[in-house]
Chains A and B, each alone.
Chain A
Amino acid sequence: MFKRDVQRGHRAAGLVLTSVAAVLLASCGGGSLSEGGGGESGDNSGPVKIGLSVPVSGVYASLGEDMTQGFNLYLDENDGKLGGRDIEVVSADEGEGPETGVPATTKLVTQDQVSAVVGIVNSSVALGLQETFVQSEVPLIIANAGADDLTAEASPYIWRTSFTNGGVAAALGEAVAEDVGDGSVYLIAADYAAGEESVNGFKEAFEAAGGTVAGETYTPFGTTSDWQPYLSKIRSSGATAVYTFYAGAEAVNFVKQYSTFGLAEKTQLYGVGFLTEGGVLDAQGQAAVGTQTSLHYSDLLESDSNRRFVDAYQAAYDEVPTVYAVQAYDAAAALDAAIEGAESTDGAGIAEAMADVGEIDSPRGAWSFDENHNPDQPYYLREVQEGESGLGNVIVGKLTQ
């Protein structure tokens, strides 16, 4: 019996080794000892390959789904073409973090030879990919990741249709300073790069407008499920309002506990839009009512282009669009303009054309890329209110031009 097991094991080993060899040979592509290409070599009639790298599995999967839907909606509205050329979309799963996102997205560039990549929810993934894209001369159009560092030094290959953590937070500073007057604001966020950038962005604008900070706390990122000790600190600090940054499950739990422990009635809660966007709002339910957030989009935005977009999105996907969908939709729009004006449809050609894209007519309002390749866009003040179709982020003011 033992010998049989050994033989069985060795047979399995042989099987594994031959299948490994077969798999690797099947993806055979001419060796890795010479310079690879940077996307399609400017063939002017074939389809242009665009990579779409968003989370398909893991905690951010619903954001990835919204982004895929937004991107595809634009394609559908344009007969599957961007810039007059047929588009072949190659998908990759960003997963939960850089350990999956970086290799999966790199594959789009090195193996699938795409001319541009759209997507990336997670800032850590984007930071890990920057150099690869610059080196391979393929443009990366970030449709969510907000890390300030990504565009601190503008690169011809890194473009962003979403936001910067500091920017969307700073938009709130003046409005909150006006609202609290002589009172003070307590700052609390998750202890990681996005949380710090958000708090610092807000603090700078808030203090410049004359506001007073009552206290500042960072909570362990991803492992905190109980905010009660921090909420007690907030209560005892006597702050008039709270500014916070959380996303995903932490946003759900924080807002719910903020309400359960009785702070919601007395201390106004401010944050950036991700605190109450999409699925997170559904999970928070009534606990979120009254929360005011800053964001460059709300599905309840009253404008012609948004109404058209919301109707089309609802008809196609039977749900209300989120900011993530709009960011991806606009990335497609930017690519549309770029490919149309590009001299060649390889990575370098599209990157060059991105600089001349001009104004994007977006559901969030018209915007264009600023000198750091981020959107120069208006931010809105939204409040969670109960409407006829349930809870939503109602626009109650405009924070910046």
Chain B
Amino acid sequence: MLSWLDANTATLLNGFALAAVLFLVAVGLSLVFGTMNVLNLAHGAVSLTGAYIGVALLGQNAAASSFLVAVLAAAAIGLVIGVALAWLTSSVGDHLRQALLTLGIALIAGDVLAEVFGDDVESVPAPAGLDGTVVVLDDPYPVYRLVIIAISALIAGLLYVVLERTRIGAIVRATVADRTMVEAMGIRTSLVLGGVFGAGAALAAVGGLLAAPILGAQPGLDDTVLLLALVVVVIGGLGSLRGALVGAVLVGQVQTLGVSLLSEYASFLLFGGMALVLLVRPRGLLPAKIGSHA
């Protein structure tokens, strides 16, 4: 057992690093779907925008401070985009047409990004000081990936506290469970939804930026990230923070450990796994409690 662990430590850690990024991107998608039933197909494009912010602001060697500035910029820009998306989709009643709208926006955004930054793969360097390796169980492992895991865990903890312990969090959870009831109580759910959309998009943009030193930034990455995030959300359960976390870890490990152990079936693992989970647990593994209007 120990020798297996030794041989696969780096793979396991990579799985968690990927999970860290996926969690940041997927949690917004999950909460937006949980509160407003909007399938936001522009979510991948938001994440890619975050990555390109990194390309724009960080040169070849980035100091930790400029990296921090980039993170804040990504969060701010993500927030604005999220609120704008919330406003745009609120005037459209039907879910499929909302999906049409967000897909249209995603196509436009993808094209604009390719126009501005070109079609080549762009690299973003890890912040100076965090771009070295550290020895984990006899093998070198990049420090940066460990840092991402830590940051993501921290944010997950913060989100948990906000959702479970604050009044705002309670309102959000109530809106997921039963939106009309919350409206009946006099709370402007449009503000809640705008906030959730904005926060979710901000997290997605930050996730995209943090992933950039590993995945790079290129046209087409938005589709890849969107598909992975959709799978995370569906496996984990819609509208739930814990679901997003569990889903992210599962998908992250399937894509790394799974691929490593079962490389002949690598391409089928992800969607095959998702189909299996859905057939056994149609609402996902840890869905949020939903009221009678499911």
Contact = CB atoms under 8 A, between A and B. Distances in A.
B266 A59 contact: no
Contacts of A228: 10-11, 14, 256
Contact of B259 (A220, A248, A249, A261): A220
A279 interface: yes
Contact of B122 (A220, A223, A232, A283): A283
Given A58-B219, A260-B133, A260-B142, A229 B259 contact: yes
A174 B181 CA distance: 76
B11 A229 contact: yes
Contact of B216 (A217, A226, A252, A262): A252
Given A226-B14, A229-B259, A285-B60, A249 B123 contact: no
Nearest to A55: B119
Contacts of A230: 260
Interface in B121-136: 121-123, 125, 133
A400 interface: no
B11 A249 contact: no
In terms of DSSP, what is the predominant structure of the interface of chain A?
helix
A59 B119 contact: yes
B266 A236 contact: no
B20 to A, nearest CB: 13
Interface in A258-302: 260-262, 279-280, 282-285
A53 B10 CA distance: 44
B267 A223 contact: yes
A226 B119 contact: no
A253 B267 CA distance: 18
B289 to A, nearest CB: 35
Contacts of A262: 133, 140
Interface in B239-266: 255-257, 259-260, 263, 266
A282 B218 CA distance: 14
Interface in A56-102: 57-62
B214 interface: yes
B220 interface: yes
B7 interface: yes
A223 B255 CA distance: 10
Interface string A30-72: 0000000000000000000000000001111110000000000
Interface of B: 7-8, 10-11, 14, 18, 60, 114, 118-123, 125, 133, 139-142, 214-216, 218-220, 224, 255-257, 259-260, 263, 266-267
13 contacts: A57-B114, A58-B119, A59-B219, A59-B220, A225-B214, A226-B255, A229-B256, A229-B259, A249-B121, A252-B121, A253-B216, A261-B141, A283-B122
The 7 closest A-B pairs by CB, nearest first: A229-B260, A61-B119, A279-B120, A283-B123, A220-B266, A249-B121, A262-B140
Given A229-B10, A283-B216, 16 more contacts: A59-B218, A61-B114, A62-B120, A219-B263, A220-B267, A224-B259, A226-B255, A226-B259, A229-B11, A229-B257, A232-B260, A236-B7, A248-B121, A261-B142, A279-B120, A282-B123
